[in-house]
């Protein structure tokens, strides 16, 4: 945490601005999931083909994330944030203008390229502005912004869709990001926004650290249920619960709210254990285990007899994944420090993108066997991720 007077004055304001950029990030990202039934219909896509469109985003997101993290560490938060938000907003607008499947996939690919810088920038801001014990709560605030974006996407995108069409919804949500840039330029702290020159052997040193790869694998596994519901919630309500898109929108905003609650719950839990004398890493590990245990309930969601009970189950799944995630994303900040924070978090961002690449396989299973197989797989993945973390820690 910096000791300069300007950073002390504006640290929460600056962090709040990053939280807002994260909300816009996920609003743009979640617009496709919200409008998926209409997009599938217009482009004549199966669920598996829709999964490949999702992967166009996730593939570039995964590949670009480490380079985006290095760029954040080199450029600083101010310039990196403006560059990322401007590019992903233009990609979102272009999505509404595309006329073919290839164009749709290309727009999603550019969106993934740009949005890869969002979470690493936020992670660097959290490390810079917050004390170690507060970092999980800082990640919880960022998770709340993720949830806010996903909460806003169903009502905003559906409202625009009903009145004007799905293309106009992409244009409108993209324009919101462009409006954030002058706001950030007014609120950003003077100077480089917390840039610290990375060590001379960066990033080779961190890439040789086995803790990083444990974090990467564990995060990928823990994000499987989260990625499932980010991309398939509206489709689940339309296809499995037989709702219209408008009816589905009344339920689709609820799980992200519980995701925000899960983030704050996970952050509060680890902070409480730290305040009682536990070291940060063991406290975060314990909170991750709680999230992994709760995630096992994901397997029961297809048995829900009503949309309301299904929304409860999806909400619990989101809650558990978020409680795990805010502590997972705090572990590399503790382990590798400020000069490497952007890159360390970017590797987790890449692993989250890699986990999402399972979307076509999930779509194939859904087309043939319904949602029971995919929810069963998603239910056990976070526990496997925690086991990876525990194994590496036990070997130290």
Q: Are 43 and 101 in contact (CB under 8 A)?
A: yes
Residue 196 lies in a domain: no
Report the interhelical angle of 307-328 vs 245-252 (nearest 10°).
Answer: 50
Structure confidence by residue, pLDDT tens digits, 338-386:
666 677 788 888 888 888 888 889 989 999 999 999 999 999 999 999 9
Q: Which long-range contacts (CB under 8 A, 24 or more apart) does 205-210 make?
A: 206/336, 206/340, 206/343, 206/344, 209/335, 209/336, 210/392
Mean pLDDT of the chain: 85
Residue 213 lies in a domain: yes
Residue 342 lies in a domain: yes
Q: What is the pLDDT of residue 293?
A: 97
Residue 218 lies in a domain: yes
Residue 19 lies in a domain: yes
User: Quick count: other Cβ atoms within 10 Å of Cβ 278?
Assistant: 15
Residue 231 lies in a domain: yes
Q: Are 116 and 61 in contact (CB under 8 A)?
A: yes
Residue 226 lies in a domain: yes
Q: How confident is the model at residue 1 (pLDDT cuts 50, 70, 90)?
A: very low
Domain of 149, in residue numbers: 5-189+202-395
Query: pTM for the whole thing?
Result: 0.73
Q: Which two three-digit tokens encode residue 41?
A: 């219909």
Angstrom distance (rounded) from CA 296 to CA 300: 8
Task: Return the higher-pLDDT residue of 46 and 135.
Answer: 46
CATH number at residue 107: 1.20.1250.20
Residue 195 lies in a domain: no
Q: Which two three-digit tokens encode residue 208?
A: 């040789």
The DSSP output letter for 351 is H
Instruction: Looking at 224-340, list the stretches that DSSP marks H as alpha helix, in order from N- to C-terminal side.
Output: 224-239, 245-252, 254-275, 280-295, 307-328, 331-336
The total number of residues written for the chain in this structure: 396
Q: Count how many domains the chain has.
A: 1
Structure confidence by residue, pLDDT tens digits, 127-185:
776 777 667 777 778 878 877 888 888 889 999 999 999 999 999 999 999 999 998 88
């Amino acid at each position: 945490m910096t000791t300069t007077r300007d950073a002390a004055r504006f640290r929460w304001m600056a962090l709040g601005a990053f939280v807002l950029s994260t909300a816009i990030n996920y609003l743009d990202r979640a617009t496709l999931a919200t409008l998926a039934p209409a997009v599938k219909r217009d482009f004549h896509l199966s669920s598996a083909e829709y999964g490949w469109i999702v992967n166009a985003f996730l593939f570039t997101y995964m590949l670009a994330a480490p380079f985006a993290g290095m760029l954040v560490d080199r450029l600083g938060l101010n310039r990196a944030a403006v560059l990322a938000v401007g590019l992903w907003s233009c990609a979102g607008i272009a999505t509404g203008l595309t006329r073919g499947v290839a164009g749709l996939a290309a727009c999603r690919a550019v969106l993934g390229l740009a949005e890869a810088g969002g979470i690493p920038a936020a992670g660097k801001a959290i490390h810079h502005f917050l004390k170690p014990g507060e970092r999980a709560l800082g990640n919880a605030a960022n998770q709340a912004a993720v949830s806010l974006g996903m909460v806003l996407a169903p009502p905003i995108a559906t409202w625009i869709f009903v009145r004007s069409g799905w293309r106009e919804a992409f244009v409108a949500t993209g324009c919101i990001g462009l409006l954030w840039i002058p706001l950030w330029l007014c609120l950003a702290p003077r100077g480089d926004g917390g840039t610290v020159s990375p060590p001379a052997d960066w990033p080779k040193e961190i890439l040789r650290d086995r803790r990083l790869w444990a974090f990467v694998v564990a995060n990928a596994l823990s994000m499987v249920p989260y990625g499932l519901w980010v991309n398939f919630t509206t489709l689940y309500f339309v296809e499995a619960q037989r709702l219209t898109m408008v009816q589905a929108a009344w339920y689709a905003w609820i799980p992200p709210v519980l995701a925000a609650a899960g983030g704050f719950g996970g952050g509060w839990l680890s902070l409480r254990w730290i305040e009682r004398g536990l070291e940060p890493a063991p406290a975060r590990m314990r909170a991750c285990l709680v999230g992994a245990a709760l995630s096992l309930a994901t397997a029961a969601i297809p048995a829900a007899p009503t949309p309301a009970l299904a929304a409860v189950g999806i909400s619990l799944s989101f809650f558990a994944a978020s409680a795990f995630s805010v502590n997972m994303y705090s572990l590399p900040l503790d382990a590798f420090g400020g000069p490497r924070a952007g890159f360390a978090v970017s590797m987790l961002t890449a692993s989250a993108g890699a986990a999402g690449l399972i979307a076509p396989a999930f779509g194939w299973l859904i087309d043939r066997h319904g949602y029971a197989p995919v929810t069963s797989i998603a239910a056990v993945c976070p526990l496997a991720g925690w086991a990876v973390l525990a194994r590496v820690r036990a070997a130290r």
